[in-house]
Amino acid sequence: MSGLIPKPVDFGYIWGNSLAEIAAQAPDARIINLETSITTSDDYWVGKGINYRMNPRNVPCLQAARIDVCCLANNHVLDWGYGGLMETITTLKMAGMKTSGAGRNEEEARLPAIQDLPGRGRVLVFAFGDESSGVMPGWSASESHPGIAELQDFCAETVNAIGKEIRKVKQSGDIAVVSIHWGGNWGYRVPEEHIRFARHLIDEANVDILHGHSSHHAIGIAVYRGKLILYGCGDLINDYEGIGGYKEFRSDLGILYFPAIDSLTGRLTGLRLVVMTCKRFRLERAARKDVCWIEGMLNREGRIFGTAVKLEEDLSLVW
Residue 2 maps to a domain: no
**Residue 193: what residue type?**
E
**C-alpha span between 282 and 2 (Å, rounded):** 9
Residue 7 falls inside a structural domain: no
How many Cβ atoms sit within 10 Å of the Cβ of residue 187?
13
Domain with 257, as residue range(s), is 13-318
Residues of the chain with pLDDT under 50: none
CA–CA separation, 4 vs 11, rounded Å?
A: 17
Q: What is the pLDDT of residue 138?
A: 93
Residue 34, CA distances (Å) to 88, 106, 255, 278, 306 in order: 10, 19, 15, 17, 30
Residue 8 counted as domain residue: no
What lies within 8 Å, CB to CB, of 262 at 6+ separation is: 268, 269
Return the exposure string of 212-233: e unless at least 16 CB atoms fall within 10 Å of the residue's CB, then b.
bbbbbbbbbbbbbeebbbbbbb
Domain assignment of residue 6, yes or no: no
Beta-strand runs (E) in 66-207 = 69-71, 98-100, 102-103, 113-116, 122-129, 147-148, 175-181
Check which CATH number belongs to the domain holding 36 and give it: 3.60.21
Q: Where are the beta strands (DSSP E) in the chain?
A: 31-33, 37-38, 53-54, 69-71, 98-100, 102-103, 113-116, 122-129, 147-148, 175-181, 209-213, 221-224, 227-230, 253-261, 268-278, 283-285, 308-311, 315-318
Q: State the pLDDT at residue 1.
A: 52
The DSSP secondary structure of 190-241, one letter per residue, reads PPHHHHHHHHHHHHHS---EEEEE-SSS---EEEETTEEEES----SS----
Does a structural domain hold residue 58? yes
pTM of the entire predicted model: 0.96
In one-letter notation, the amino acid at residue 300 is R
DSSP state of 93: H
The confidence score (pLDDT) of residue 244 equals 76
Cα angle 80, 105, 44 (rounded to 5 degrees) comes to 10
Please state the separation of Cα 226 from the chain's center in Å. Answer: 20
Coil, helix or strand at residue 31: strand
First to last CA, the chain: 35
Q: How many domains does the chain have?
A: 1
199 is a domain residue = yes
In a domain, 3, yes or no: no
**In 3D, which of 289, 302, 221, 192 has the Cα closest to residue 250?**
289
CA dihedral 244, 245, 248, 250 (to 10 degrees): -20
Domain contains 232: yes
